[in-house]
Amino acid sequence: MTASNDQALSLPGLQPVRRGTAILSSRMQGERVYAALLVPALVLMLVFYVYPVTRVLWISVTDPAPGLGNYALLFTSASVQRMILTTARIACITTAITLVLAYAVAYALTFSSETARRVMLVGVLVPLWISVLVRAFAWVALLRREGVVNNALVGAGLIEQPLALIWNELGIVIGMVHYMLPLGILPLYSAMRDIDLRCIAAARGLGASPGQVFRRVFWPLSLPGVIGSGLLVFIFSLGFFVTPAILGGAAR
Amino acid sequence: MMAAEYINVQIHDLVRWGLGSMIASTLVIVVGLLVFLLGRAVDIGRLFGTSR
């Protein structure tokens, strides 16, 4: 350290300024390190996400001829419009059924005992860890004409002919709802867990019936979770491939 | 037939990359809009336990 620096440090009032500068410089160095740590992730994003998506966008306006001809098909091609309607219809039905079932399960999870909650959470999470392909083929084994469900129904005398439960829209919806349930339950449960249960106790204390408590307190407070869960399931449903390919009519 | 199957048929079977890419791009744009709406409606990070 130089003599002038020693002098400056010894002067009252200047020492905190130098210490502050040192802290600021160390923080800036820390920020640079964090920024450097982000570089590999950023490069991966650019190479494996941004570039392919941009390439797809580019092809959509250049193949077979430059222009918006392909996009015009959205409004002029009957097959494209039919496909959009089918996708939207199946995604909407799947989302609605998933939300109803997921809400009931998330509600039960919120108000059950610790042990029951653990068992139920395992039940919710285990299907999430099983491959979508395995689950789809399991549904084929259950729902085909000679499957477990049709055999049981025919055996019990409830139906004479096996029902068409797969290779149609019903099969797709069954398979997709099964896949989407954990994705619907977990955000809903997370939203319900954040609800202050003292609000419910207060409503009950003020004389509200259980139905009124649900309708006027619990449901409005859980609504952000319903919206989030619904949009998430809808987004996943829009681009679903494996289940519709195996359980849908296009496979036949 | 759903969108993903349609894209698969267009690209693999009919080799119509333009139409397949257009459907894929439309799907990306729609999903982007929905994620934007989701972000407006709820705190996405909080919903999935990544922020408090």
**Confidence band, pLDDT 50/70/90 cuts, at residue A16:** low
Using a CB-CB distance cutoff of 8 angstroms, which residues of chain A are in contact with residue B34? 231, 234-235
- Predicted confidence at residue A13, as pLDDT, reads 53
Using a CB-CB distance cutoff of 8 angstroms, which residues of chain B are in contact with residue A225? 42, 47
- Say which of B3, B25, B47 has its CB closest to residue A87: B3
- Say which of B18, B41, B47 has its CB closest to residue A59: B18
pLDDT in tens, A49-101: 999 999 999 999 998 899 999 999 999 999 999 999 999 999 999 999 999 99
Predicted complex ipTM: 0.87
Chain B contacts to A (CB-CB under 8 A): 1-6, 8, 17-19, 21-28, 30-31, 34-35, 37-38, 41-42, 44, 46-49
Q: Is the peptide bond before A64 cis (omega within 30 degrees of 0)?
A: yes
Question: Looking at the predicted structure, is the pLDDT value of residue B2 above 50?
Answer: yes
- Predicted confidence at residue A8, as pLDDT, reads 47
Share of chain A above pLDDT 90, in %: 69
- Predicted confidence at residue B20, as pLDDT, reads 94
CA A175 to chain centre: 16
**Confidence band, pLDDT 50/70/90 cuts, at residue A127:** confident
- Predicted confidence at residue A12, as pLDDT, reads 54
- Provide the whole-model pTM: 0.82
